[in-house]
Amino acid sequence: MQEKKLMDETISAIATAPGEGGIGIIRISGEKAISIANKIFRPFAAKSIEEYGYRMAIYGKVQDEQGKIIDEAICIVMNAPNSYTCEDVVEIQCHGGSIVMREILSLTYRMGARAAEPGEFTKRAFLNGRLDLSQAQAVMDVINAKTKASLQMAMSHLSGGFSDKIKAFRNDILSIIAHLEASIDFPEDDIEGMDFEDTREKVKLLQDKIRKILESASTGIILRDGLKTAIIGKPNAGKSSIMNLLLGQERAIVTDVPGTTRDSIEEYVNIGGIPLRLIDTAGIRNTDDIVEKIGVEKAYSYANDAELVLAVFDSNEELNSEDEEIIQLMDNCPGNVIVIMNKMDLSADTNNDIISEKIKNCHNARIRGIVPMSAKSGEGKDTLENLLKDIVYGGHTDIVESQVLCDARQGEILRQTANLLDDTINTIDMGMSEDFIVIDLRSAWEKLGEITGETIEDDIVDQIFSNFCIGK
Ligand code: GDP
């Protein structure tokens, strides 16, 4: 009810990225979109935008209440339901300066639109049935894709790949339910094929399919959100240099230029299609000494927080107490660890055997490999890349094709559905009647609907869309 009222309002927002650009787009959606556009936009070659057909690029000027020209622009009208939101939508393509865009935006507000909330255009597309929830989420995944592989998966979700799978699972459940209900309603008719062994098999088959998706879900989550990565090592081991090598450019160097750190504490690097989310890159650049300057505790918390730890050692120097400390830290962190023996170009190799020996004594760490590297020459980067692929894809290189790009919520729903199907199987095994089996199956059917948004609470929908950007 409240959604309905909100949907009655016309919304507007700047749809292009914040900051300055060649072109900026102001998007208006809702009942009043076209009348607002008529008030603020005058085509050069006609009296009003209505003289043009829909979806035409109309060249004209944007002007305020007093007739003062704010900008020259292109206006495109997309009438309901043939628009992104299924409502009347107007897009004004103006010059991409922040002042000009803000002026036009506030003009739309004065003419009756209100500021769109984050993700509200896509939320309307969802509420109006143009996209299901999983597709709506894929819109953000397309925008936020960190690598080609994540983009490929997001696009497959957007075009309904994942939704179709979920819908097929739900249909499978419904047909099992229909069969069971027929036997409840007409117990005297011996429904053909109706035996619990058959039902059990069907449920099991479905559960296997869901579990198969779950197996690859963690890869999907990594490709979507990035593998949280910490680079640790003593001062001068080459952490910043390794990071720069991974970033593929020199822009991150800060060691000898004090105070030139960037604000961002997270940065993504794309290693062989796998996005690594580097933790506190600013921190690493900011200090020569991750253990001393930011404190052992902080270094521990990075390492503990990370899904992947890159432990960097200087292969050209004797192992010292700081290295020992890093080894200890590495041994106690829960994520995967890759040991990087840096500065191979200097090739003294003093450290390698000693480190390898020490690593054999690291019983807790999930050490996935020791990579001789040179941040200077780039040697070893390929080996690192292969090791990463092995960690993420577990040896399946074709995984992207069949991959689903689950987020944590979707993964959890699939897990819960598989558990509910376990309950169903137990109910069958306990010899309970059809009614009880149907109850279990219905719960699984409803649970799955939370992925596509067919059975979901409003506040969860709100929460999902609140993570979107404004204007999307
Ligand atoms: P951090 O303190 O661990 O971040 O170390 P830096 O990345 O700032 O590197 C410390 C010094 O080692 C710098 O002078 C780098 O140029 C140098 N260095 C880093 N990696 C290599 C490498 O692979 N080979 C050589 N020869 N020098 C390196």
199-229 burial code (b ≥16 CB/10 A, e <16): bbeebeebbeebeebbebbebbbbbbbbbbb
- Would the annotation count 19 as a binding residue? no
- Would the annotation count 283 as a binding residue? yes
Residue 47 above 60 pLDDT? yes
Q: Based on DSSP, count helices (H) and strands (E) in the chain, helices before strands.
A: 18, 13
Q: How far is the CA of 238 from the centre of ligand 1 (A)?
A: 4
Residue 325 confidence (pLDDT): 83
Please report which confidence band the pLDDT of residue 447 belongs to, taking 50, 70 and 90 as the band edges: very high
Residue 283 above 80 pLDDT? no
Q: In the chain, pLDDT over 70 holds for what percent of residues?
A: 85
Residue 429 confidence (pLDDT): 93
Residue 263 above 50 pLDDT? no
Residue 435 above 60 pLDDT? yes
Cβ atoms of residues 238 and 432 within 8 Å:
no
CA 245 to chain centre: 25
- For the stretch 230-239, pLDDT in tens is 888 887 888 8
Contacts of 269 (CB under 8 A, 6+ apart): 243, 246, 247, 248, 275, 276, 278
Residue 454 above 60 pLDDT? yes
Residue 395 confidence (pLDDT): 57
Residue 186 confidence (pLDDT): 67
Cβ of 342 closer than 6 Å to ligand 1, yes or no, is yes
Residue 38 confidence (pLDDT): 95
> Which range has highest mean pLDDT (101-105, 276-280, 403-407, 432-436)?
101-105
- Would the annotation count 5 as a binding residue? no
Residue 266 confidence (pLDDT): 60
Cβ of 285 closer than 6 Å to ligand 1, yes or no, is no
Region 87-109: mean pLDDT is 96
Contacts of 122 (CB under 8 A, 6+ apart): 84, 131, 136, 139, 140, 465, 468, 472
- For the stretch 333-379, pLDDT in tens is 888 999 999 998 986 666 677 777 877 777 777 888 899 999 999 99
Nearest CA to ligand 1 atom 11: 236
- Would the annotation count 277 as a binding residue? no
Q: For 128-146, what is the HEC assignment?
A: CCCCCHHHHHHHHHHHHCC
Cβ of 343 closer than 6 Å to ligand 1, yes or no, is yes
Residue 190 confidence (pLDDT): 54
Domains of the chain and CATH, by start: 2-131 (3.30.1360.120), 138-221+407-453 (1.20.120.430), 226-396 (3.40.50.300)
Residue 262 confidence (pLDDT): 37
- For the stretch 173-183, pLDDT in tens is 999 999 898 87
Cβ of 253 closer than 6 Å to ligand 1, yes or no, is no
Residue 427 above 90 pLDDT? yes
Q: How far is the CA of 73 from the centre of ligand 1 (A)?
A: 51
Region 159-165: mean pLDDT is 87
One-letter identity of residue 455? T
For residue 267, which of 276, 256, 258 has the smallest C-alpha distance?
276
Q: Are strands 58-63 and 227-233 parallel, antiparallel or unpaired?
A: unpaired
For residues 142 and 449, give the distance between their C-alpha atoms in angstroms, rounded to a whole number: 22
- For the stretch 51-97, pLDDT in tens is 888 899 999 999 999 999 999 999 999 999 999 999 999 999 999 99
For residues 71 and 257, give the distance between their C-alpha atoms in angstroms, rounded to a whole number: 43
For ligand 1, mutation pick of 232, 236, 340 (most atoms within 8 Å of CB): 236
For residues 289 and 294, give the distance between their C-alpha atoms in angstroms, rounded to a whole number: 7
**CA distances to 77, 294, 320, 325, 349 from 354, in Å:** 69, 27, 11, 14, 10
Helix (H) or strand (E) holding 370: strand 366-372
Cβ of 380 closer than 6 Å to ligand 1, yes or no, is no
- Taking CA 408 as the corner, what is the angle to CA 404 and CA 411, rounded to the nearest 5 degrees? 55
Residue 252 above 80 pLDDT? no
- For the stretch 291-317, pLDDT in tens is 444 445 566 777 888 889 999 998 888
Cβ of 425 closer than 6 Å to ligand 1, yes or no, is no
Cβ of 236 closer than 6 Å to ligand 1, yes or no, is yes
Mean pLDDT (the chain) is 83
Residue 400 above 60 pLDDT? no
For 97, other C-beta atoms within 10 Å of its C-beta total 15
For residues 173 and 178, give the distance between their C-alpha atoms in angstroms, rounded to a whole number: 9
Helix (H) or strand (E) holding 4: helix 2-8
Q: How far is the CA of 319 from the centre of ligand 1 (A)?
A: 16
Cβ of 233 closer than 6 Å to ligand 1, yes or no, is yes
For residues 419 and 425, give the distance between their C-alpha atoms in angstroms, rounded to a whole number: 10
ipTM above 0.90, yes or no: yes
Residue 160 confidence (pLDDT): 86
